[in-house]
Chain A
Amino acid sequence: MTGRVFIAAVLAALLAPALADEIPRAQRRSGYDAMSPQTRAMQDNESENPATLWVLDGEASWRKPEGEANKSCADCHGDASSMKGVAARYPRFDAARGKPVDIEQQINICRVERQKATPFAYESHELLAMTAFVARQSRGMPILPDKAAGAAKTVAEGQRLFTQRRGQLDLSCAQCHDDNWGRSLGGASIPQGQPNGYPLYRLEWQSVGSMRRRLRNCLSGMRAELWPVDAPEYVALEMYLMARAEGLRMESPAVRP
């Protein structure tokens, strides 16, 4: 090996982590693909999927009048079929607010502005139930990320956060989910970190949880400081993950180990 080639090889090795590439489109996989047949069956069959319990609660509150306006979701949106495809498009850039909004925030915007009711707390049963019910309507549809002018900035910010090293372990999201997906970490397989099943029932949580909960889970796993629960960073990451998963089929509410 000549000196120059050797130096080039060493440089390439040193630079490799910084140059982490996104997963090629043809290799994008839902976390479903790595699950056991039993867990897959649980997700596929509605009467076995525990997230159905949340979906049914969401369906009940869809028709229940709330707040000072005494209006239900159905009074404006009609049948839940009007929500078909919505979860596959969120988070979206809200031009009127000048910022991106994820599906949980959109539900709370409706509650505060249309129903004149108090917003649901993040990760509350009510919010998860409503999100699960809305997202259920998009099951099987391909993810269509927001391509509006305002969205690009947030997607870029999300990508920056995804590839930035953080926490005591000095890891970035990309180092696991772009560079090492499919390999093992402490006996568990590393998924690509695709957002196509949220909100989902995680067997480990014994509950339905949001994308935000998953992101907070990862942050604490990296021993990084958690952003406050309403921080814009989560929406930016969600938006980048949806752009990264363009075309993957929605599985909400999914089941994951």
Chain B
Amino acid sequence: MFQEILVHLGEGLLEAFQPLNMMMIFFGCLAGLFVGALPGLGSVNGVAILLPVTFLVPPTSAIIFLAALYYGAMYGGAISSITLGIPGASTAVATVFDGRPMAQKGLADQALMAAAIASFLGGTVSIVLFTLFAPPLAKFALAFGPPEEFSLMILAFATFVGLGGDDIPKTIFSILIGLLLATIGLDIISGRPRLIFFDIPGFLHGINFLVLAIGIYGIGEMLWTLETTQGKVQVENVKITWKRFVSNLKQVKEYIGGATLGSFLGFFVGTLPAAGATPASLMSYGLTKTFSKDPDSFGKGKPAGVAAPEAANNSASTGSMLPMITLGIPGSPTTAVLLGGMIIWGLRPGPLLFAEHPEFVWGLVGSMYIANFVTVVLNLALIPVFVKVLATPFTVLAPIIFTLCVVGGFAPTQDMHDVWLMLLFGVFGYLLRKLDYPVAPAVLAIVLGPLAESSLRQTLIAGQGSAAVFLERPIALTCFFFALMLVLYPVYQAFTRKGKKKAEAAEA
């Protein structure tokens, strides 16, 4: 079987090395970088806008182009997260947590490099996993029913503990705010409207996750920076020399652990239909922080805090291709658009695609290996350009950030209602920050809340009101067990640390 895979992969690589396909990879990656870096545009819209271009070339070249674009966008999202503090796409929100503080310290080049290298690692791990285990993994994805989905969501919630810092009541408050915002809109199970404030129709589609994230991080951050710096340039112009590049490269060992964890976690979460790259990157950040030797330094500019989510989002983007190709079910919004493309090209995704169109599937796989190299090279080469942004005075940068935030708030739903909401969240985020509340748990809660709610209710309907179903599902039980461990781990850590401190005090 292994040999067979190698033969297929060789053919796939040969296919990807065709001049036309190589060109597709290069331009796809480049377009993806820019699409990802522009807030609110994101890979979904990028793929949707460029879908018609692909009708001019054969299907294999077309999917290669779109996959490269998807891939490049995952890298690109990190650029605006780090340099401007606005998440370029929902998948890059977790990158802001540490990327932005690093940039403020004048370490933007290090952050961008951590993002590029981690993304490369994530991409490589996931594509190797994809090559070797696609069919069995597809079976595993099928084993995920509503009870398993719910248990996975609980596992993700448990990583909140790692996201919140020391103040547990404030973390819980933040989670609850996020969950409350997530219940706004029409209920998916009964179809009834919930919490439609003042009967404003804009609330019917719920609160878009990106609206909250751009508001809190983009606008909130801008207000905060304006207050603290009074508009003065806070970052010195970093001279990128070869020496600095090499010394940055040596930093890799600091974050390789988090990036590896993120790579595997991202792929796994990405393969599950309905999850996708955004929860994967947030979970990866939370887990890396929890298991770090020094969790308190996260959120203040730690390279591992950039590497973990970036590895996960690239890995998940490959992972979410798996249910699309083998089951015809998109694992993320972007793959949903890709799926539409495949149908137009006359390819029906499903369990038979591997057997009936091997040249297509393996050409895609081969192209992902190459796209991975192309993007990492492009990224490393463009770091000096991106860092230049930070040398701009903040009085010039602030209006640009504001404009990008407004566009980013408007783009996903094209509704002015969301722009007002985004600005409101910006002020809210600024106040939370002044009061020292963690906002990341609220952001995660609004992503996972709806998924958790519907899977729990589907499970309970299936069990006719009884939760006993969970006890019969080994995968669900495993997830619950790990979730419990995750919650208890920081408590255990806190106790041992207290003990240590007491002992030190006694010695002194």
Q: Do A and B come from one complex?
A: no
* Chain B residues packing against A (C-beta within 8 Å): none
